[in-house]
Amino acid sequence: MSENNIGQKSSDVQEQSIGDQEKKFLTFALGDVDYGIEILAVREIIGMMEVTVVPQVPEYVKGVINLRGKVIPVIDLRLKFEMESIEATEQTCIVVVNIEETLIGIIIDRVNEVLDIDQKNIEDAPSFGGTTINSEYILGMGKVGDSLKVLLNITKIVGDDLSVVSTSISEE
């Protein structure tokens, strides 16, 4: 009986250590702020390409792209975050993410790198009290050296728009 208890405790420790492992994040910039999304959500990164405008969608929904025969909605993350719109540069790109079996492109200013961030270096999302910032969009704050990365809950950010985007596209 004591062997079972010991075996049980060792498997509990194993499960805990799995939760303490590093997570991989694709880091990117919008303006001067560095963000990260879990790499598991990222399908691919493509250069900026022509986006076909779709009528009657929110301003931050730029339209759709044709990526190897698939029609993919594209969201400008700057506009979604109510930041100033800027002209695309050579570094501007579209990160295609897979959310709930739906591919969605998000326009970002530039990709930085893929980082391994240890769970112990990820702080909870800060509370902003009564401000208009939607902290549901933030998974946490990743501490990397002396810098911070805002780790985003991309499912929450784009998930709100899945029905808007898919309905608008299917009506065309």
117: domain CATH number?
A: 2.40.50.180
On whether residue 12 sits in a domain, the answer given is: no
Amino acid identity, residue 170? Answer: S
Q: 107 and 94 in contact (C-beta within 8 Å)? A: yes
Helix H, strand E, coil C: the string for 58-77 is CCCEEEEEEECCEEEEEEEH
- Composition of the chain by helix, strand, coil, percent to 5: 25, 45, 30
Q: What is the pLDDT of residue 5?
A: 44
On whether residue 14 sits in a domain, the answer given is: no
Q: 73 and 169 in contact (C-beta within 8 Å)? A: yes
As for how many domains the chain has, the answer is: 1
On whether residue 101 sits in a domain, the answer given is: yes
The pLDDT tens digits of the residues spanning 37-94 come to: 999 999 999 999 999 999 989 999 999 999 999 999 999 999 999 999 999 999 999 9
On whether residue 10 sits in a domain, the answer given is: no
Find, among 90, 88, 97, 89, the residue nearest to 35 by Cα: 97
On whether residue 30 sits in a domain, the answer given is: yes
Tell me the residue range of the domain where 102 lies. 22-171
